[in-house]
Amino acid sequence: MGEDSMIYYGTMFDHRVRFSIVRMREVVEEARSRHNLSYLATVVLGRALIGAALVTPWLAEKERWTLDIEGDGPIRRVVAQSTSEFTVRGYVANPNVELPLKENKKFDVSGAVGKGVLRVIRDLGLKTPFVSQVPLVSGEIAEDLAYYFTVSEQIPSAFSIGVLMDSEGVKIAGGFAVQILDRSLEKEKVEMLETNIKNLPYVTELFRETEPLDVLEKIFGEKVGFVETAEIKYRCDCSREKAKSALLVLDEKELEDMRREGKGEVVCKWCSTKYIFSEEELRELLKLKKNGAGS
């Protein structure tokens, strides 16, 4: 996907502060296309995917990190998942949501999300994933993520995330995160970071004119030395076998109804891939079901 889907990350001030910054227009556009999202739903899911992407450099090997936001707004739920392999995927409960633009002509993300909770699920491949939950503070996603890390993981954090749409689709998508790992960091450095971040324009305006490394210079007030990079990809691990397993969870009556209709269909919630099963395949699944599979 080239430089339009790259993450840049590293540390500053003797590893006492870490950062990540990502541009991923093509990834968010792929999500829009896969799920056939409305403009507002694209912005909401896009922000969540960017947030999930920003934490990828900080994940343990083979870790799966899930951001699950559930609110009382019309979008109802937005879920974004990332992995230590720099992949993301996600979905929203209501892909067709639209609301009037706010007075500043921005999409009403907080109105779409509403009041609710933000859950973070960290799956390290152990028996039980770690789950943390905080109330939503704004529904704007970036502020909610910063609040989660600051309160739940005790890591003072700043997140800034944006998605800009035009008539063709996603025009700009990206964001950055800065986290203070060492609370003994000099007060003047903390205040400098807070001031510099506060004085930055909206991410979508910033990314229109400024390259990621130059954005980092604006944040830290000096050139950033060593920066690592990686390509962010939209990748789902669904498969026909997993879809088949999902069908086996259904009861015999539901499978029999599908067989009579002549086909069964499973749609992956993460990527909208459709898996079609023929009448003959459904007959075989019914035999497996009667022999105890999936129970």
Q: Would you state the CATH architecture of domain 240-293?
A: Alpha-Beta Complex (3.90)
Among the ranges 98-112, 171-185, 279-293, which has the highest mean pLDDT value?
A: 171-185
- Mean pLDDT score, 15-34: 97
- Determine the pLDDT at residue 293: 57
287 DSSP β-pair partners: none
Instruction: Answer yes or no: pTM beyond 0.85.
Output: yes
C-alpha dihedral sign at 199, 204, 210, 216: positive
- Model pLDDT, residue 3: 58
List the domain boundaries for the chain.
5-234, 240-293
Class of the domain covering 5-234: alpha beta
**Does pLDDT of 276 surpass 60?**
yes
Q: Three-state SS for 175?
A: strand
pLDDT at 225: 85
The pLDDT tens digits of the residues spanning 216-265 come to 999 999 999 889 999 999 999 999 999 999 999 998 889 999 999 988 99
Residue 106 has pLDDT above 90, yes or no: no
Our measurement of the distance from residue 271's CA atom to the centroid of its chain's CA atoms, rounded to an integer in Å, reads 13
What average pLDDT does the structure give for the chain?
94
Q: Which residues contact 167 (CB under 8 A, 6 or more apart)?
A: none
The gap from C-alpha 248 to its chain's centroid, in whole angstroms, comes to 29
